[in-house]
Amino acid sequence: MISRIYSRFCQTLPAPEGSRGLLVAFSGGLDSTVLLVLAAQFAREQGLVLRALHVHHGLSPNADEWVAHCETVCQQLAVPLLVERVQLQRDSGDSLEAQAREARYLCLAAQLGEGEWLLTAHHQDDQLETLLLALKRGAGLRGLAGMVPSQPFAGGLLLRPLLEVSRTELADAAASLPYGWVEDESNQDESYDRNFLRQRLIPQLKARWPAMAQTAARSMALCAEQEALLEELAEADWRLAAAGEALQIAPLLALSGTRRNNLLRYWIRRQGGEMPSREQLGLLWQEVALAREDANPQLNWGGQSCRRFQGRLHLVRPGLQPRYEQLTLAVGETLSLPDGLGEVRLLPRVEGEGLRLPRADEPLSVRFGVAAGSMLKPVGRGGSRRLKKLLQEYGVPSWQRGRIPILYYGEQVAAVGELFLCDGFMTQDAGLAWHWLPAAACQPPA
C-alpha cells in the first residue's frame, strides 16, 4: 500500500532539482506520519535535506507525550525534528482552532528556508470537508476551489502531495508501518465544524455515495480552473483601470455588473484587504463610486474603508485622523512619524536643487498643519495660497490632509511632504535634502 501511495506522491511533486530542502509539518497523527515516511524516502532518493516541525500548542494534556512520540519516530527515520511551543489566548474572541492554525503556519513560515518545500498531509477527505465548509459560509469560486496542490509560501513552496489520496488509503498505509501515531482527543469534539462533518455528515454521504470525495474533488478542480480564468480577466481589466493602487471609476462604467464585481474583488484582494460580502460590494459601487460629485463618500467593513477622490476608488484604513504633534528634527537624522506615517530624513546635500541650510535662529521641526489663515508660496508659483487649496491642486485626498509631514524652519514652512518647497528656502548650493518615506499607512492591513 505504501509503495502505491509513494508513486502517486512523487508524481504530484515538482522536479526535485527545484528544491533546496524539505520541511514536513508533523503532528504525529496518522496522516502526517505517512507523509513523513514518504518524504523520507523521497529525500533519500533525491539527495535532499529533510526536516520535520512539530508545533506544541499546549491545548491537550497529552501534548508533551505527542512531542516524545514525534521525537521517537523522527529518530527512527533519521529526520531532524524541530519543536515549536506556542501560547494561545483562550479569551481573545477568536476560536482556538483558528488561533492554532495561524500559530502553526507562522512557525512553519519562520522555519522554511528560501527555495525550500513545505509538505502538509492534507488529503482527499480534507478537500471534501473544505468544500462543505465553503458551502456553509456561502463562498464563491475561490472558496469552492478548495486547497491547491502547490502555492508560494514564505520564500518557498507549500505542497500538498496527498490531495488525491483518501483517508482510508492513508489508514491502511499507516497500519502497515511500525511507527504508530497519536490521536488528538479534540478530533472527537463535534462542537468544531470540521469534526462534525468528519464524524457525522461525511460518513453518511460516503455510505450513500462511495465516490463522493472523488467527485467533489473533480468539481473543486473545475472551480479552480474557472477561478483562474476570472483572475486572468481581472488582471486584464486592472491594467486598463489601475492608477497606482487606486482604481479609476470611469473604465468600470463600461463593464457588466458581474465583470465589474470581479475586478473590484481582485483590486481588494491585491491590496490584502478583507473581502466584502455581495451586499457590501453593491453598496461600495452605489454609495461610493456613484455618489454625488460633491460628496466625500466612504464605506467601512472589516479593517478597511473604501473612499473616492477625483474619480478614483482608494482602499484605506478607517478612522484616519489629522495629527497635531510637533517633532524636533536634526540634520542627518531619520525621524519616525506617528500612526504608521513612515519616516522623514533631512540629509546634507552637496550639489543640486534642495533646501538651504537653516540659520541659528531657525530650529527644525516637523508638524502636520499650519496656523489658520497661513498662506504658502511654492517655489515657481506666482502667488501664495492657503494649504487646503494647494493640497487640492496637488491631488491630495481629503483623508490624507493633516497627515502629511511639514518641515518648519523656526515658525516658517519650508517644505510640505514631497509635494513642494516653499519660496525662500530653495538653493542650488550646498544644503539639505528632505525626504518623506511614507509607510502603508493609508493601505489596509495585510
pLDDT at 442: 39
Q: Are residues 259 and 403 in the same domain?
A: no
AA identity, residue 246: A
Inter-residue contact 437 to 360 (CB < 8 Å):
no
Q: Does any domain span residue 233?
A: no
Would you say the pTM of this structure is higher than 0.75? no
Inter-residue contact 40 to 79 (CB < 8 Å):
yes
Rounded distance between C-alpha atoms, residue 301 and residue 274, angstroms: 8
Inter-residue contact 435 to 354 (CB < 8 Å):
no
* Predicted confidence (pLDDT) per residue in 70-119, tens digit: 999 999 999 999 999 888 776 655 677 778 888 899 999 999 999 999 99
AA identity, residue 107: C
* Predicted confidence (pLDDT) per residue in 278-292, tens digit: 999 999 999 999 999
Bridge partners of 420, per DSSP, are 416
Question: Domain range holding 102?
Answer: 1-221
Q: Is the pLDDT of residue 443 over 50?
A: no
* Predicted confidence (pLDDT) per residue in 287-306, tens digit: 999 999 889 899 999 889 99
User: In sequence order, which residues have a C-beta less than 8 Å from that of residue 69 and are 6 or more positions away?
Assistant: 28, 180, 181, 182
Q: What CATH number did the domain enclosing 272 receive?
A: 1.20.59.20
Q: Does any domain span residue 238?
A: no
Mean pLDDT of the chain: 91
Q: Are residues 160 and 301 in the same domain?
A: no
* Predicted confidence (pLDDT) per residue in 358-393, tens digit: 999 999 999 999 998 899 999 988 889 999 999 988
Q: Which residues are annotated as a binding site for ATP?
A: 27-32
Instruction: Tell me the torsion sign for CA atoms 399, 403, 407, 410.
Output: positive
* Predicted confidence (pLDDT) per residue in 117-155, tens digit: 999 999 999 999 999 999 998 888 888 999 989 999 998
Q: Does any domain span residue 230?
A: no
Instruction: Average the pLDDT over 233-256 and give the result.
Output: 95
Q: Does any domain span residue 174?
A: yes
Q: Are residues 310 and 370 in the same domain?
A: no
Q: Which residues are annotated as a binding site?
A: 27-32
Rounded distance between C-alpha atoms, residue 50 and residue 39, angstroms: 8
